[in-house]
Structure formats: structure tokens, C-alpha cells
Amino acid sequence: MKYIDEYRDARLARSLATTIAHAVDPAKSYYFMEFCGGHTHAISRYGIEDLLPDNVHLIHGPGCPVCVLPVGRIDAAIRLAALPEVTLCTYGDLMRVPGSNGTSLLSARARGADVRMVYSTRDAVRVAETERTRQVVFFAIGFETTTPPTALAIRLAARKRLANFSVFCNHVLTPSAIQNILESPDVREFGRVRIDGFIGPAHVSTVIGTQPYAFFAEEFAKPVVVSGFEPLDVLQGILMLIQQVNEGRHEVENQYRRAVRPEGNERAKAEVAEFFELRKTFEWRGLGLVPYSGLRLKEKYAAFDAERRFSIENIPAADNPACECGAILRGVKKPTDCKLFGTLCTPDTPMGSCMVSAEGACAAHWTYGRFRDRARKAS
């Protein structure tokens, strides 16, 4: 398949792995965080870590959109779905994410709530159009990649004068989260997380471009290489990071040039700017309250804002104390550090958000069995 097969070529992957092995300084250790869940998935799926020298370490970051949604927002969606007049439309992954006390949107649906899985924001608008007596709420989550389709849904609903459509907005921003990680006590004070550079997100960067990463590459002296999701992309991105570290550089580089431009997608950015504005602060699972890291609808589009329409309260709720998702999302722990991993918590019985989404670190580790390979090697 064009643009797929050539980036999964095993011979080229082995050759890149050899180049990486020659490039690393044996006296050094390298710690790179892949921010994006798509990269976490690719790293597990293709066994990238097994191709790297022992002194190159990959740390999973908080870039899985389902995983970073805090319990309080899941609870709010469940409360919303329980209203008799509401039809809550959402992507499939979100339905299984545990809220407080073992609840989820799926269990709410079993109790009679009208929760429907959709594949696109357009599907949700279509439900509002065909069922005018229902208040249709789209449960919007995700990073900069999924925000433009939400903006387009609002534009479409406005054009069709759909007074029964609204959005429960939980869209978040990548650069604010990366900055928060670099300023966190885990990185700065305690030194529990060492980060020498970032594998920058692929899809997000097709929208925002590479320019927004320049600030913290400079300010925190950390290289960023925006990389694609195919195995050769990831390997080449890691090689570029190693070269920057060896040369003492901290620049933003773009490995994913076939899709990402420095300025990003101006049309998508303009669409988002038309409908959304920054929240002063937004809660992330694992990171806590992160300033200017989330979006909400502008006053001009308040009629489409479910938070205003249904007076949704933000009631903070605690994570399951046995679940280590928070520490995993901060890069402090790995999935295999969690006592529940693979025992009480599996993709069939997820106890935390990181096991629900395919992009979650726990689900990726479990699905591709990398922990089993490592256990075998250690024995």
C-alpha cells in the first residue's frame, strides 16, 4: 500500500537500527518521551524498543486523548446521559472508560440512558437532525487533531438551525501539556523523570505545525522531532534525536515532512479559532490542573455549549487508588509497574483509562505482549 508498505520495510528498519547502534555514545544514556498515544501504540506493535541499544530509553507520555480525561469529566458525561431528554453521542472508546464507583457510559446505557456510539461528529449532527425532540449532546474529546471536526459540526448545526444540538467540550492542547511535564516536580525537583528530548506528535502536528514546539525546545533546551507513526518514521525520529543530543543541539526538527508543514493547516486552525477559546485551566488525569491547556466554546456559540445549556457542574473525583494511570501518564511509571496489570486489569476488564483506549500505554503493552518478551529475556 502506497505510503504504508515502504515505511514498514523490515530490511530498512534493520539498517536504521544499525545506524542508531553506531550513532549512540556508549558512555551516555538517552531518555526520549513519545508524547502521543499513536507512537506508544506503534512502538509496542512493531517492537521498536527491542531494536534499540540498551542505553536508549523510551518514556510514554500523556498523549492518549481518552486516557487524560479525568474521572470528574466522565462522571459529568454520565450525569448528562442520565437526563431523560438527552441523547449522548460519543466515540466507542469513551463508553468503557471507568468513572467513579465502577460506573461508565456503557453501564449507564445498560441502566437505560440514551448513549450512542458515533464514528464522526457528522453522525451526531445527523442524529440531532432526525430526532428533533431529543437534546443531542456530542461528547467531544481529543487533542488538536479532533477539534476541527467538532468545529465543523457546530458550523453545520448552526447552518441547519438545530436548536437541539450541543457539544460537551473536552478538547485539550498538546504544547501546554508538554510544558507542564517539563515544569513538573517529577522532572525538575525530584529528577524522577529524565527527558532528553521528545518524539513530537504526528497527527496533532499536521494541524498545529512544528512552530508551537519552538518555545520549549529553546526554553527547556530539549530537542523535539515530529515523527510519523510508521515504524521507520519512529526509528528515524529517534535517530534524529540521538544526533541532536550528541551534538548538543535542541531544535525542532520535522521527520514527518510528507504530512506536516511548519505552519500546520491554516484552514483547520482558523476553524478552531472561530468557535473555541482557551480555558484558564483544565484538569488532566495524571497532570492535574494545567493552565491554558483546554478549550471551551466562545460566548458567541454559547447556544451549542452543553456545559451552559445543562449547567454541568465540575465535581472533582478521585482515580481508582490501585490504578497507576496518573503516574504512567506523567512518565513516572510503566504499565508493568501496576499490580493490576494483566491480572485484574485487561482490555476486557479495564480498571483504568490506559487499558481502554488502543492508544493507552497499558492496552498497547498488553495487546502486543512486549512485557512477556521482556520477562522471557530477564529469566
Backbone angles phi, psi at 101, to 5 degrees: 55, 35
The candidate with the shortest Cα–Cα distance to 62, out of 294, 324, 336, 330, is: 330
Q: Which stretch binds ligand SF4 (CB under 6 A): 6-14, 175-183, 250-258, 344-352?
A: 344-352
Sign of the dihedral through C-alpha 35, 41, 46, 52: positive
Q: Find residue 36's DSSP bridge partners.
A: 63
Count CB-CB contacts under 10 A for residue 130. Answer: 9
Pair 328, 334: CB distance under 8 Å: yes
7 binds ligand SF4 (CB under 6 A): no
Give me the residue whose beta carbon is nearest to ligand SF4: 352
Amino acid identity, position 105: L
Pair 122, 162: CB distance under 8 Å: no
355 binds ligand SF4 (CB under 6 A): yes
Would you say 94 or 113 has its CB closer to ligand SF4? 94
Pair 282, 288: CB distance under 8 Å: no
Q: Which stretch binds ligand SF4 (CB under 6 A): 215-223, 263-271, 273-281, 351-359?
A: 351-359
Q: Return d(Cα 287, Cα 217) in angstroms, integer.
A: 20
272 binds ligand SF4 (CB under 6 A): no
By CB under 6 A, name the one of 268, 328, 329, 332 that touches ligand SF4: 328
By CB under 6 A, name the one of 59, 125, 351, 364 that touches ligand SF4: 351
338 binds ligand SF4 (CB under 6 A): yes
Amino acid identity, position 86: V
323 binds ligand SF4 (CB under 6 A): yes
By CB under 6 A, name the one of 36, 204, 340, 364 that touches ligand SF4: 340
Rounded to a whole number of angstroms, the minimum distance from the CB of residue 321 to ligand SF4 is 10
Rounded to a whole number of angstroms, the minimum distance from the CB of residue 284 to ligand SF4 is 15
Would you say 13 or 363 has its CB closer to ligand SF4? 363
Kindly report the CA angle at 103 between 99 and 106, in degrees rounded to 5? 105
Site of interaction with ligand SF4 (CB under 6 A) = 323-325, 328, 335, 338, 340-341, 345, 351-352, 354-355, 362
